[in-house]
A and B are shown apart, each in its own frame.
Chain A
Amino acid sequence: MSETIFVALGAVAVLSALLCILQRNALAAAIWLVLTMLALAAMYLILGAPFIAAIQVLVYAGAIMVLFIFVIMLLNLGHGPSDIRGRAAWAGALVLAVAMATYLLRLGGYDPARLALELTGTSDLPASAVFATAEGARQAAEAQGVVGAVAGSLFTTYLVPFEVTSLLLLAAIVGAVVLAKKRI
Chain B
Amino acid sequence: MLLGPALAISALLFSIGVVGVLVRRNALVVFMCIELMLNAVNLTFVALSRYHGVGGQLMVFFVMTVAAAEAAVGLAIILAVFRHTTSVDLKTNTLLQG
Contacts and interface: CB of A to CB of B under 8 A. Distances in A.
A68 B11 contact: no
A153 B55 contact: yes
B51 A112 contact: yes
A131 B54 CA distance: 12
B69 A105 contact: no
A29 B58 contact: no
Given A21-B29, A84-B23, A108-B4, A14 B79 contact: no
Given A20-B36, A40-B42, A179-B73, A108 B8 contact: yes
Given A33-B32, A59-B68, A137-B53, A21 B4 contact: no
A143 interface: no
B36 A179 contact: no
A3 B2 contact: yes
Contact of A137 (B20, B25, B43, B54): B54
Contacts, number: 236
B39 A40 contact: yes
Contact of A105 (B8, B22, B43): B8
A55 B51 contact: no
Given A137-B53, A149-B54, A29 B79 contact: no
A95 B72 CA distance: 33
B57 A172 contact: no
B82 to A, nearest CB: 6
A105 B32 contact: no
28 contacts: A6-B5, A10-B5, A13-B13, A40-B43, A43-B9, A44-B43, A47-B6, A68-B28, A80-B89, A83-B89, A93-B19, A97-B15, A97-B18, A100-B15, A108-B4, A109-B4, A133-B53, A134-B52, A134-B53, A149-B54, A153-B53, A153-B54, A153-B55, A165-B65, A168-B69, A169-B65, A172-B69, A176-B72
Interface of B: 1-20, 22-26, 28-29, 31-33, 35-36, 39, 42-43, 46-47, 49-55, 57-58, 60-62, 64-73, 75-80, 82, 88-89
